[in-house]
Structure 1
């Protein structure tokens, strides 16, 4: 395909993904009150009914501005749209890449779709389970005798960012497995990177988490560590299967192949009688004509 065709294909895939996200966002906008109530459950709110609870650490939710309600409604609905449309936009990403793969590599599309969406949703679930701990840790930094006034958009910004970051982070091991299956990286090399991977995942978890507590950081990093080593195990098994089915799979692309330079005896050549004089357009000397055979 020409460059313009590739760009046109990319545009079509992006438009389909955006349409799916917008459609689910519109549906989520009708139920935004229920979604907001669900996300606000982990937040210890200072109300007369909860006085004396939470160890004196709670937050007063206060709306500032007339249009702020519409802003966080749109933010929450859009996050639900991205999460709900994950099978659609993951398929569009893979469909854009698949035409560049070999026929035997396209069979991994099923694996990508069966594992991609559940991994993303597993990350979303981990974020929701970690959200209460994150909120309590952040509120614990409030000085004694003070009550933080928390605008809902700040809280929903933390919640939606955690949901998206956790979901995308859980896709990283699947990316490694797909790179191994298409031959871009071997399982042995992935295993050799384990120290750097563990450190990189830890640093990513530290910066991706809105709170600085180690519990929330480990809650994000530990599942990705486990998924990374699971991806390495799958890559090693795939490399073993590939070597078993292809005896040349272990050869280096830059290594020269072995050339057989042994010399064998050649049987004597069969003599061929001279052919009749060809009808030549130019005269052929008699001495030369006697030396001609059928091959000539």
Structure 2
């Protein structure tokens, strides 16, 4: 009888967690959809803003093209959905934090909240760095190699796919300090070990940059160099963060 009650209690707890998870997912999705619907009247303008770095790099009078029948409608909608997701990212991450917070100790909550906030800010910073700096360097660099006999008119579908790939690459690159901090704080990899593998990280950074960026040295450098620098930032911040989020018993044993 006791085992049946224990099993029933476990099932109720599991179901309650599923209900809570569904509630958090619905709230996150609702925020994205609401912001998306509010931004839809400006979908064409949002695409123009996204296309601005390329348009400034093209010769005067050039325009981008759309080869699909419904592409002029679908691409601005895709861009608007991306903007809605970025705007709602803090709310989405808050819902994630609210879901896991009840099961955490107080010192663990000190770990989660700063990571949620900093990870969203770093991702947005990576996207902003890519848009305002990288595109302003890479697009003119690439278009200057076009032969004079070629009329450069990028397809908007291919352009948006390229931009989203670059945004994701730079957004994830700027998350490197968070990854280093989590590895050190959770005890998965010692800090000294992470310092020892610096040369391999540098090589890996350039390999990743060569895979996810266009085949030109400029864009590869603009991704690989920040990745290496952010890795060093993570190595510097990780021990500070680990000391600030120690469990009370860990602090007591350290003092003794």
Same fold by TM-score greater than 0.5: yes
Deviation digits for residues 36-92 of structure 1, max 9, x if unmatched?
22222222344xxx27xxxxxxx6422333311111111110111121112122223
Deviation digits for residues 167-207 of structure 1, max 9, x if unmatched?
23212321331343344443223323323333333222222
Q: Determine which structure has more spread, i.e. the larger CA radius of gyration.
A: 1
Quick one: structure 1 residues 224 and 8, their matched pair in 2 at CA, closer, same or farther if it must change by over 3 Å? Answer: farther
Aligned residues: 238
More helix by share: 2
Runs (5+) with no aligned partner, structure 1: 52-58, 250-296
Do structure 1's residue 156 and structure 2's residue 167 form an aligned pair? no
Offset, 1:238: 4.6
Equivalent pair of 1:206/1:217 in contact (CA under 8 Å): yes
The aligned counterpart of 2:23 is 12
Runs (5+) with no aligned partner, structure 2: 1-9
1:160 alignment partner, SS class: helix
Do structure 1's residue 35 and structure 2's residue 46 form an aligned pair? yes
Deviation digits for residues 121-147 of structure 1, max 9, x if unmatched?
210111102113222344345344111
The aligned counterpart of 2:110 is 107
Quick one: structure 1 residues 64 and 218, their matched pair in 2 at CA, closer, same or farther if it must change by over 3 Å? Answer: same
Compute the TM-score of the two structures, normalised by the length of structure 1.
Answer: 0.69
- Equivalences for residues 66-77 of structure 1 within 5 A: 66-77=69-80
Do structure 1's residue 82 and structure 2's residue 88 form an aligned pair? no
1:149 alignment partner, SS class: coil
Q: Distance in 1 between matches of 2:89 and 2:25?
A: 13
Do structure 1's residue 212 and structure 2's residue 215 form an aligned pair? yes
2:149 alignment partner, SS class: coil
RMSD (Å) for aligned C-alpha atoms: 2.9
Do structure 1's residue 25 and structure 2's residue 31 form an aligned pair? no
Equivalent pair of 1:90/1:116 in contact (CA under 8 Å): no
Q: Distance in 2 between matches of 1:179 and 1:141?
A: 43
**Relative contact order (alpha carbons < 8 A, sep ≥ 6): 1 or 2 greater?**
2
Compute the TM-score of the two structures, normalised by the length of structure 2.
Answer: 0.78
